Amino acid sequence: MNAEATDWMDDVSRIAVLTGAGISTDSGVPDYRGPNGVWTRDPSATAAFSYSSFMSDPQVRARFWRSYLGHSAWHAEPNAAHRALAELERHGSATRILTQNIDGLHQKAGSTPRKVVELHGSMHDTVCTRCRVRTPSTLALARVAAGEADPACTACGGILKLATVLFGERLHPDTLSLAGNVARACQLLLAVGSSLLVEPAASLCAVAVEAGARLVIINRDPTPYDDLATEVIREPIGEALPRIVRERLRSAAARR
């Protein structure tokens, strides 16, 4: 990245950041499609993330719950990239985060929870698919650890699932509407650590560009939206994003 590489950040006041699994790998949370991704290592694991399979097959649900019982995300800590975005907000930039991640690390890093739109939900809550009662995931996972392979809702006996969006399941319309409004209102959209293969989240890049925003992609691999980007950065996220934020803050201080 050259000295002028962050010129696209100098004259913007409204920044949206679309984050994917790649921003959390430095925290020890595996991604899905990378060289050591969950689905790369075990393609059959994708069945547990299909809504139809999850709802119809108790064995799929049992595998799903087992996979989350010892998941690294429960004990993960925010890394330099998460902290950089929180710092950007703390220093007065109008920053909204649209995250495909379910790990809660943006909030843990200090980003204001109401400014983080969790497009695919949160692993920290469990919801009953019948009565919609929402409870902390720790309760269901404690039952799994005690020997229940497929814990049912204690209120109605319905199927429990993490409060996350599985393949074949629609995003909540209010969440999608809010994300679209953020994308249309921003002047700069940073797409960080996302393959931009999962829709409709990925299409927020096009929504922002069509509304006049600049798009900058920070990702290891090519994405379907690279051609729309003002700049594509292939450097490690944990190095590139903190440097971009530092440059933004230095530039803002110099203009005061």
How is residue 196 annotated by DSSP?
Answer: S
Is 205 within any annotated ligand binding site? no
Alpha-carbon gap, residue 222 to 188, rounded angstroms: 20
Query: Which residues on adjacent β-strands are paired with residue 121?
Result: 164
Q: Which residues pair with 135 in a beta bridge?
A: 126
Q: Is 120 a catalytic residue?
A: yes
- For residues 172 and 122, the answer to whether their CB atoms sit within 8 Å is no
Residue 186 is labelled as binding a ligand: no
The DSSP code sequence of 215-256 is EEEE-SS--TTGGG-SEEE-S-HHHHHHHHHHHHHHHHHHH-
Which tokens is 90 given? 């703390």
Query: H helices of the chain, where?
Result: 7-10, 38-41, 51-56, 58-69, 80-90, 105-109, 137-145, 173-185, 204-210, 237-255
Are 60 and 48 contacting, i.e. CB atoms less than 8 angstroms apart?
Answer: yes
**Residue of 75, 120, 124, 172 marked catalytic:** 120
> How many whole angstroms separate alpha carbon 134 and alpha carbon 56?
21
Q: Which residues form the catalytic set? A: 120
As annotated, the binding site for Zn(2+) includes 128, 131, 153, 156
As annotated, the binding site includes 128, 131, 153, 156
